[in-house]
Amino acid sequence: MGLFRYTWKTFTRELVLLAAAAIWWVPFYFLVIGALKPQSEVYTTSASKLPSRLAWSNFSQAWAGTGGFTLGHSLKNSFVITVGSVLVLIAIGSISAYAISRQPKKLGTGLYLVFALGIIVPFQLGIIPTYVAMHHLHINTSYVGMILLHAGLLMPLSVFLYTGFVRTIPRDYEEAAYVDGAGRLLTFTRVVFPLLLPITATVAVLTGVIVWNDFFLQLIFLAGSENQTVPVAIYSFVGEYATNWSLIFATVILSIAPILLFYLFAQRQLIRGFTGGIKT
């Protein structure tokens, strides 16, 4: 049966799709070209025309930022907040899921539902009280505050993903290890947690990208503070750069480079994570 063989029709389809992908990526072409053009050329030449010389200085100027904050400073903030949130989501998410699935049936199901329903509850309504409470505790612009905020908001997702996975691993190993004299906590860290590695990877890439790209929360909590993250920094930079597109584009490239690089290496993991991880 040759139904799914490669025919000239398939070839046409492939060409059409390649053309569509090229159109999809045209914005990135403008982005790279624009970032490398001398600032005077952006408006005087066509957007698709290559730069007359490569103006790398756009990047150093973008890196320097405005208002006393370098882009590097914001990248560091984004990095600390993202990594911190992901670590909390992995540590607390995995242990919560493990404890939930090792409770008597009714209690376990009840606890699971409390987490799972949290995925559905939209968080916008809770942001104002959270802001007020964190302001009172003086952690509204701190790393700790932002990490707790992101980790708390994504905890239902993490617990949901971990619980689904924990249920598939047999209890024999942990029980044997426990009998072997390892305490409960040691049993968890040495025997159970390593078995969770595949789902840990999914939780990490999924929540990592979500936290890194978040703008709504970070704008509300961090705008104007010295802990401002990349999205907040770009938003305020662009306000000052007006229509200096070369500078804006250089800033955009520097800010999306970390995730783009990450995507090059972990695209399968990311696509699978977003496709299988988000749906409930």
Partner 1 sequence: MTDVPANTPLARRLLRFPRRRRERLRGIPVVWVIPGLALAVALHYVAVAAGGWYAFTDWNGISASARWIGLGNFRELLRNQTARSALWHSLELAAAYVVAANVIGLALALGLHRTVKSRNLLRSLFFAPFVLSPLATAYIWRFIFDYNGPFNGMLGAVGLGGWKRTWLGDPTWALWTVLVVMVWQAAGLAMSFYLAGLQGIPEELDEAAAVDGASMWLRLRAVTLPMLAPAMTVSVALATIQGLRVFDVVMALTNGGPGDATETLSTQVFKEGFAANRYGFGAAFALVLTVLIAVISLTQILLLRRREARL
- Provide, rounded to whole angstroms, the least separation between the CB of residue 56 and partner 1: 20
Two tokens, residue 207: 């929540």
80 vs 118 by CB, closer to partner 1: 118
Instruction: Report CA 271 to chain centroid distance, whole Å.
Output: 12
Any idea of the CA torsion for 45, 51, 52, 56, to the nearest 10 degrees? Answer: 130
The sign of the CA dihedral 192, 199, 261, 148 is negative
- Provide, rounded to whole angstroms, the least separation between the CB of residue 25 and partner 1: 6
Q: Whole-angstrom Cα distance, residue 55 to residue 51?
A: 8
- Provide, rounded to whole angstroms, the least separation between the CB of residue 189 and partner 1: 12
- Provide, rounded to whole angstroms, the least separation between the CB of residue 18 and partner 1: 7
Q: Whole-angstrom Cα distance, residue 150 to residue 273?
A: 18
> What type of residue sits at position 131?
Y
- Provide, rounded to whole angstroms, the least separation between the CB of residue 57 and partner 1: 19
Give the long-range contacts of residues 129-138, CB within 8 A, separation 24 or more: 131/220, 131/221, 134/221
Q: Whole-angstrom Cα distance, residue 259 to residue 277?
A: 18
